[in-house]
Amino acid sequence: MKARIHVTLKDGVLDPQGRAIHHALEGLGFDGVQDVRAGRLIELSLADGTSDEAIDAMCRKLLANMVIENYRIEKVA
């Protein structure tokens, strides 16, 4: 069983990396990009039966910093 953890910056938190990517896309001639926010994808391979609560605790205790980030858990078969 796998879980993908999508970690993203909270709304209102400035994202200098996203801004730099945005700038680079414009430099490559891609028009129409209105905003870029960079995040992180963490893929966990888990023992069958790992509880949702345990995955949630992993996110809160380490994988995301709750001061600046949100997370979303996507379970993959």
Binding site for another protein (CB under 8 A): 12-14, 16-17, 20, 61-63, 65, 67-68
Token match 């709750």: residue?
66
**Least gap, CB of 49 to another protein (angstroms):** 25
Of 34, 33, 36, nearest in space to 18 by CA:
36
Nearest residue (CB) to another protein, 1 versus 13: 13
For residues 10 and 48, which CB has a smaller minimum distance to another protein in the complex?
A: 10
CB half-sphere exposure, 23, CA atoms < 13 A:
6
Whether residue 39 contacts residue 47, with contact meaning beta carbons closer than 8 Å, is answered with no
Minimal distance, residue 69 CB to another protein, in Å? 9
